[in-house]
Amino acid sequence: MIATVAGNLVADGCFVLADHVNWRNGAPTPINGHTPDIIAEKGDQRLVFEVEDCATYADRHTRDQLSAFARARGCQVRVVVPAVCHGEHSRPFAARDHMLLILGLWGLGNRVGVAVCDPSAGTVAY
């Protein structure tokens, strides 16, 4: 998902740094002690992305990362989740809706946006 999001941002005209995927421009540096998966810059806009899968988007580490990024000045923060995850008894659910609820519980609802990535289709929806 990191490569898909980064590629979409480049196609949108952003300069991109991406972690974990051997990105051609390199990886981001830490922000408040945590390294984001992606930083994208376009003009005076700086976007920070944390990409999570179904197993990690609701965990404490993700909360700590998003809280750290949301404290940074001049950054817009987004968490990227898969379109669908499978819960108890393999029932599918919309990860975006669940992530929005969790962000509200974490007190980050108005400081962190949610994007959905479908790497098989190469799409990202903000």
In this prediction, residue 92 carries a pLDDT of 82
22 belongs to a structural domain:
yes
What is the domain extent for residue 112?
2-47+57-78+89-125
For residue 42, the domain's CATH number is: 3.40.1350
Tell whether 97 is covered by a domain. Answer: yes
* Residue 65 falls inside a structural domain: yes
Query: What gap in Å lies between CA 13 and CA 57, rounded to an integer?
Result: 27
In the DSSP assignment, the letter for residue 83 is S
Q: Is residue 52 part of a domain?
A: no
Asked if residue 83 belongs to a domain, the reply is no
Beta strand residue intervals within the chain, DSSP E? 15-18, 38-42, 45-51, 76-82, 84-86, 92-94, 112-118, 123-125
Specify if 113 maps to a domain. yes
| The total number of structural domains that make up the chain | 1
**Single pTM value for the model:** 0.93
pLDDT, one tens digit per residue, over 73-112 is 999 999 999 988 887 666 788 899 999 999 999 999 999 9
Let me know if residue 84 belongs to a domain: no
pLDDT digits (tens, 9 = 90+) for 53-63: 999 999 999 99
